[in-house]
Amino acid sequence: MRLMIIGQLDGYISAAGKIALQRGAKVIHCEDIIEAIGALRNGKGADVVMCDVKLKVGKLIEGLEKERIHIPVVACGIGTDGRAAVKAIEDGAKEYVPLPPDADLIAAVLEAVTKEASDMIASDPAMQNVVKLADKIAPSEATVMITGESGTGKEVMSRYIHNNSKRKDKIFIAVNCAAIPENLLESELFGHEKGAFTGATARRIGKFEEADGGTLLMDEVSEMHPLLQAKLLRAIQEKEITRVGSNESVKINIRLIATSNRDLEKSVQKGEFREDLYFRLNVVNIQLPALRERPSDILKLAEFFAGKYAEENGVEKKRIAAETQKKLQAYGWRGNIRELENTMHRAILMSVENEIEPDAVHLTESDFNNNTSSGESATNTPSPSGVSPSSTTAAPIENIDGVESLVGRTISDVERDMILNTLDHCLGNRTHAAKILGISIRTLRNKLNQYKDDGENTAAAG
């Protein structure tokens, strides 16, 4: 773990640093917020920041957001100034630690805000085979491509591989290629020089340089623009990168792991993804099974999440009632582990019984969640209530609007309504909406930006 401490704190800073060092952390000390952001911009990464409340925690968090640096911030101050603690939390700090430092308290806080989900629940045979493969290839330097549906735990598997590799004592950096706007992704990955483009007020070290010596995870690499794919291919082949606005090459030494929830072979056939890059990334392929394909893990994961969120929310830990267990096992989990996690988070808050009752577990009653994979038919699949759709007579689908309602409208208007209505149907989940529409997340994002520029209220969707 890498800890950055900002401020003086009348000598208590050294005590806090010593405690962190004793717990195995690497400590960086900066005098003020400007120095801290400059250090982070120049590749001196951190997993958590401790900041003196006198230095305006809100200003620090605003600066980190502006630089697109995502690090949890813990505020600290001398004594028990309740007003300062509340203000720090309101400004975005994860925790407040009073000083002089208590060793157990600091250790607990640091562990809580940097806790990595690297321990996997994988007792199902389908998942055990995957873990065996991961254990076999982890010590190597081979590039790994992890594929699977959204929410199957691709980043958790990436951390597992890193933690079992020769680079486990080095840094692990993750970057989500789908979450960063196309015009900023190149800078995020490769860095930029001062003045390289409008807004580049200082040199910025990219993720490739920051991960030097360790592991770099490129999450949802399939969403990368073809032009940037070429630069990524060169970085992998030559083991060097060039910052935006620079002509000088920088040598890098990283282990690369990439993930995708799409069928990359089909993307290659469609010309959306470079074939040569695909083969470079796909040296070892790990296919993660969907949650419905590892049924014996469902209850263990549910119990884990129920315990986790009971502790986080300060509520009583509860067992899962027998009827609730049946309900969880009968569900299709289209959103996989991520959907299960959110469901149990809600359940632990909604439960009013001694055990988590069925009514506390809210599930989406839809065809694609009745134990059906994305490519399967729901015809003979049991619903969460245990009734098979084939046992009832299928009602004819009525075309309420009909083709006539489209006459006189432009194709662009119809497309806009279809996109916004689908996004609203998916409760704002862009990944699900893009799948239903048959377009990439990037295309969906570009369309929404276009509608926003045209004055459309896209915020209302979802």
pLDDT band of residue 385 (cuts 50, 70, 90) is very low
pLDDT band of residue 112 (cuts 50, 70, 90) is low
Q: Is the pTM of this model over 0.85?
A: no
Mean pLDDT of 85-113: 77
Residue 333 predicted with pLDDT over 60: yes
Residue 384 predicted with pLDDT over 80: no
Specify the domain boundaries for CATH 1.10.10.60 within the chain. 406-460
Q: Kindly report the CATH class assigned to 125-287.
A: alpha beta
Mean pLDDT of 387-414: 51
% of the chain at pLDDT higher than 90: 39
- Please compute Rg for the chain using Cα positions: 24
Specify the domain boundaries for CATH 3.40.50.300 within the chain. 125-287
Specify the domain boundaries for CATH 3.40.50.2300 within the chain. 2-113
Q: What is the pLDDT at residue 13?
A: 64
Fold for domain 406-460? Arc Repressor Mutant, subunit A (1.10.10)
Residue 399 predicted with pLDDT over 50: no
pLDDT band of residue 419 (cuts 50, 70, 90) is confident
Nearest to 228 by CA among 264, 177, 268: 177
Q: What is the pLDDT at residue 67?
A: 79
Q: What is the pLDDT at residue 72?
A: 85
Mean pLDDT of 37-53: 83
Specify the domain boundaries for CATH 1.10.8.60 within the chain. 292-390
Q: Is the CATH number 3.40.50.2300 carried by domain 2-113?
A: yes
Angle, alpha carbons 181-446-263 (nearest 5°):
80
% of the chain at pLDDT higher than 70: 84
Q: Is there a contact between 101 and 16 (Cβ–Cβ < 8 Å)?
A: yes
Q: Rounded mean pLDDT of the chain? A: 82
Residue 171 predicted with pLDDT over 90: no
Residue 81 predicted with pLDDT over 80: no
Mean pLDDT of 136-161: 94
Angle, alpha carbons 259-363-328 (nearest 5°):
80
- Cα 239 vs. chain centroid, distance in angstroms? 26
How would you list the strands of the sheet with 73-78, edge to edge?
Answer: 26-30, 2-6, 48-52, 73-78, 95-99
CB atoms within 10 A of CB 364: 15
Instruction: Dump pLDDT digits (tens) for 311-329.
Output: 888 889 999 999 999 999 9
pLDDT band of residue 97 (cuts 50, 70, 90) is confident
Mean pLDDT of 18-30: 78
pLDDT band of residue 375 (cuts 50, 70, 90) is very low
Most confident of 54-58, 136-140, 436-440: 136-140
pLDDT band of residue 402 (cuts 50, 70, 90) is very low
φ/ψ of 27, rounded to 5, equals -110, 135
Residue 35 predicted with pLDDT over 60: yes
Query: What letter would DSSP give residue 377?
Result: -
Residue 15 predicted with pLDDT over 80: no
pLDDT band of residue 124 (cuts 50, 70, 90) is very high
- The answer for residues whose C-beta is within 8 angstroms of residue 42's C-beta and 6 or more apart is 203, 204, 205
- Residues in the chain, total: 462
Q: What is the pLDDT at residue 136?
A: 96
Q: What is the pLDDT at residue 391?
A: 37
Give the CA count within 13 Å in the CB-facing half-sphere of 263. Answer: 8
Residue 381 predicted with pLDDT over 50: no
The matching CATH number, chosen from 1.10.357.10, 3.30.390.50, 1.10.8.60, 3.40.50.10860, for 292-390 is 1.10.8.60
Mean pLDDT of 20-27: 75
Instruction: Dump pLDDT digits (tens) for 228-266.
Output: 999 999 999 999 999 999 989 999 999 999 999 999 999
Mean pLDDT of 385-414: 50
CB atoms within 10 A of CB 215: 23
Mean pLDDT of 181-198: 87
Residue 409 predicted with pLDDT over 80: no
